[in-house]
Structure 1
Amino acid sequence: MPTSVNIDIRSISLRHLKAIVRVAEVQNITRAAVTLRRSQTAITKSISEIEGQVGVKLFDRTSKGVTPTTQGDILVRRTRSALAAFQVAANIFLQMKGGNVNVITNPVFSMDISSKRLMALVALTEHRDVRKASAAIQVTRAAIYNSIRELEALLDIKLFQRKPGNMVPEDFTMILVRQIKLAFSEIHRGLEELENLDGGTVKGKIVIGSLPLARTMLLPRAINHILKDHPDLNIQTREGPYDVLESGLRSGEIDMIIGALRHFDETSDLKTEALFEERLIIVTRKHHPLTKEKNLTINDVLDHQWVLPPKNTPARAVFDDIIQKKALENPDIFIETSSLATLRGLLLGSDRIALISEHQLFYEIQFGMLSALPIELTGTYRPIGITMRSNTTPSPAAYLFYESLRNVADNVQPKVA
């Protein structure tokens, strides 16, 4: 069987995949051809070409019709998820246009358009420069321009503002590109599932969004744990502000985010699972004068120079809440940083004190570089866990990593009830 995960998504016809979904639904090639307004020969060719690309049989043919094989079911399920991603973009477009357009038959939303056209849009949106976009996906600049012109004609809108030196995507362009990425990620996960059907060690790529609280212990331990049994996995971590990681999660570029959990309502396309609770501590260098004091409280240390988490982060919100509830005044002098390396250097080279989660400086405290002050910060326990998309099934590789995280978390701290 060919290595499905190495297939260039641009070489797969979205129209062929859509045909496979319809055939699976009606279990008859002739009826599928009628509903799709294509010939029976064209539908048969669609199935044959996709089967040739992925190297597996997608349908069993009988005298009564056709039924999907196990492999066919996988590809149909993932393609339905891709269609749903395009439907979200269609609904937003319909609302934007005041309901005065037909999105059902628009090729941009119905998967009746070339993957290459859509990838050109994605590339130009990401790079905002035709030359860089063409280099990124290895096509000519003319191909980029032609793709954008075709898409703008189909949608009857401008997708970019042409400005000196760059192309600025319109708001709907950003939405459309997010949904295109999500659709392609679903198709790619389908290919990964096909690749892993034969059992044995799991292969595939996992992209993990890593927030600060997970980077020191939980994430490295989970990676080491899973690679013992599945050494062929390609694991990538992405670090950055939460909103950037969340955007990547929603577009399918990231499989899950690990770290402090945010709240989502039941209608959200994201879901969370708490693994354990983490508390905040106050840390100093070893042999700091405060380490000799006993019965310290938060009131006793506010006049020191602080290193605090940036504003608009969960840890900073907890600190500000403590100050407010105790009717205390904020420290007069403080530095804000989210960089663990910067914080470590500041503490080791001065008498500053820092507010940070217990796990982030676990090794520095364990090996005697830094000390945690015996100050109990009531109400600073926060749930640490996994954030994932709620409306899709993880790839085999991502699911294994999810299980690895749960296993490791049970040994880091008791699981949240």
Structure 2
Amino acid sequence: MELWDLNLRHLYAAKEICDKGSISAAADAVNLTQPAITQGLGKLEALLGQPLFERHTDGMTPTPAAKMFAPRIESALANIGSSRVTMAQLRAFLSVAEHGSYPTASAMSGLAQPTLHRSVANLSIALRRKLLDRRGKGMALTAQGRSLARSFRLARAELAAGLSEMEALKGRETGTISIGAMPLCRARLLPKAVTEFHNAYSGVEIRIVEGSHAELIEPLRDGELDLLVGALREPGPGEDVQQKLLFEDHPVVIGRYDHPLRGQHNDLETLASYPWTIAAPGTPLRMRWEQMFQAAGIGCPDVPIECGSVITIRQILLESDFLTLLSPDQVAVELEADWLSTIGGPPEGLHRTIGVTTRSGWMPTGMQQDFMQILEKAAIS
């Protein structure tokens, strides 16, 4: 089933029945008649393909499916923040917010432009907020619109997770796990974990988005990504996200295989006399690199080429006397092939922490929990 087939008022009613134990009590809470709730509940159960309640003469008892789905509904409705919002409005607003114009949103969503205009306008009126500003041929979110878009994305993510869990109860593992992959995890850790996970969950779509921490942290906060894997930040990015250590990485100095310094005992002053290519200031690796020289009382060498791409760095090293600081895992193939060589290890204690970043309060599905366990095992193997 499609997430957009759900009716928010029916979800609200189902949650209230779970909390209050009867349709009559729920009717007062959601301002619907008992026949309307009964009909809506029947439609919701038909969509989900399983009963949510056991009917008794003295009330309603939630089934295991309802107990699992209820926290997702509660979280989604809390993010939506108003009982006046409809699923059609939520879908239309997110489509325009994510595609930047009504024509593009219409083409991508399949909804007619008049439908999009009407739904977004009605949403703005219902919430008494200006959500969009016209910018040339496109639309830009207002500050209130940006805040609402994030809340709606999180609501969408919760409902999608809930539907995945409903399918799992029927013995059918579906859904998507969206992973933000920062540079360090791409060479060994993530491919190993993803391959093992796919073997166990072939019906689950795995979506990997590569980028830096700065590029991935906001999609994580928006609910577009489930987790980030890579170097952790010190201090953490904020109270709305949490970090979990997987292992400590010990980077080494890398150069081409026939580099003039290969096979020698090189001190930091010697290393500082060569040009370096390394990630931009503010990244964990760059900060560790700077600390390596500062702790020894040596000025940081010049960085003529700032670069965070391992592929680009590899080619620079192969064609020059440049040095860099990388994890051996990131260039394992190149080291084994004798294209690159370890020129020297950094001083003792120089390391960076590699781990997983998730939203605070994130409720992983069963298959997402399994992926986390597989990732943790891959990190120590």
| Structure 2: gaps (5+ residues) | none
2:45 corresponds to: 51
Give the CA deviation at 1:11: 1.4
1:105 corresponds to: none
- Counterpart AA for 1:206: I
In structure 2, how many angstroms separate the alpha carbons of the residues matched to 1:382 and 1:215? 16
> 1:23-172 maps to which residues of 2 (within 5 A)?
23-86=17-80, 109-172=81-144
In structure 2, how many angstroms separate the alpha carbons of the residues matched to 1:364 and 1:242? 25
In structure 1, how many angstroms separate the alpha carbons of the residues matched to 2:328 and 2:19? 53
Aligned to 1:373, the other structure's residue is in SS state strand
Deviations 1:195-233 (A, max 9, x none): 11244x743311111011100000000011222232222
Give the CA deviation at 1:134: 1.1
Give the CA deviation at 1:110: 2.3
Give the CA deviation at 1:265: 6.6
In structure 1, how many angstroms separate the alpha carbons of the residues matched to 2:286 and 2:363? 34
Q: 2:304 aligns with which of 334, 345, 359?
A: 334
Question: What is the TM-score when the length of structure 2 is the normalising length?
Answer: 0.95
Give the CA deviation at 1:116: 1.8
1:15 corresponds to: 9
**Residues 46 and 266 of structure 1, relative CA distance in 2, 3 Å threshold:** farther
For these two proteins, the number of residue pairs brought into alignment is 381
Give the CA deviation at 1:135: 1.1
Deviations 1:212-260 (A, max 9, x none): 1100000000011222232222111001121331212122211111111
Question: What is the TM-score when the length of structure 1 is the normalising length?
Answer: 0.87
Aligned to 2:292, the other structure's residue is in SS state helix
Identical amino acids, percent of aligned pairs: 31
In structure 1, how many angstroms separate the alpha carbons of the residues matched to 2:244 and 2:213? 16
2:156 corresponds to: 184
In structure 1, how many angstroms separate the alpha carbons of the residues matched to 2:271 and 2:350? 17
Q: 2:293 aligns with which of 297, 313, 323?
A: 323
> 1:287-302 maps to which residues of 2 (within 5 A)?
287-294=258-265, 296-302=266-272
In structure 2, how many angstroms separate the alpha carbons of the residues matched to 1:18 and 1:326? 62
| Structure 1: gaps (5+ residues) | 1-6, 87-108, 412-417
- Counterpart AA for 1:191: L
Contact 1:213–1:259, Cα closer than 8 Å, also in 2? yes
2:200 corresponds to: 229
In structure 2, how many angstroms separate the alpha carbons of the residues matched to 1:181 and 1:69? 28
Deviations 1:135-160 (A, max 9, x none): 11111111221122112212333212
In structure 2, how many angstroms separate the alpha carbons of the residues matched to 1:308 and 1:330? 12
In structure 2, how many angstroms separate the alpha carbons of the residues matched to 1:312 and 1:214? 19
Give the CA deviation at 1:112: 3.6
In structure 2, how many angstroms separate the alpha carbons of the residues matched to 1:20 and 1:260? 41
In structure 2, how many angstroms separate the alpha carbons of the residues matched to 1:37 and 1:60? 23
In structure 2, how many angstroms separate the alpha carbons of the residues matched to 1:145 and 1:382? 49
1:255 corresponds to: 226
Contact 1:302–1:331, Cα closer than 8 Å, also in 2? yes
Q: Give RMSD over aligned pairs.
A: 1.8
In structure 1, how many angstroms separate the alpha carbons of the residues matched to 2:270 and 2:22? 77
| Bigger Cα displacement from structure 2, 48-57 vs 142-151 | 142-151
In structure 2, how many angstroms separate the alpha carbons of the residues matched to 1:219 and 1:34? 50
Instruction: Report whether the alignment pairs 1:368 with 2:329.
Output: no
1:405 corresponds to: 375
Aligned to 1:231, the other structure's residue is in SS state coil
Instruction: Report whether the alignment pairs 1:212 with 2:183.
Output: yes
Deviations 1:282-328 (A, max 9, x none): 1001111110322x122211121111111221111111222333332
Instruction: Report whether the alignment pairs 1:246 with 2:217.
Output: yes
**Residues 22 and 172 of structure 1, relative CA distance in 2, 3 Å threshold:** same
Contact 2:85–2:123, Cα closer than 8 Å, also in 1? no
Give the CA deviation at 1:263: 4.5
**Residues 332 and 246 of structure 1, relative CA distance in 2, 3 Å threshold:** closer
Aligned to 1:291, the other structure's residue is in SS state coil
Contact 2:254–2:342, Cα closer than 8 Å, also in 1? yes
Contact 2:278–2:303, Cα closer than 8 Å, also in 1? no
**Residues 35 and 227 of structure 1, relative CA distance in 2, 3 Å threshold:** closer
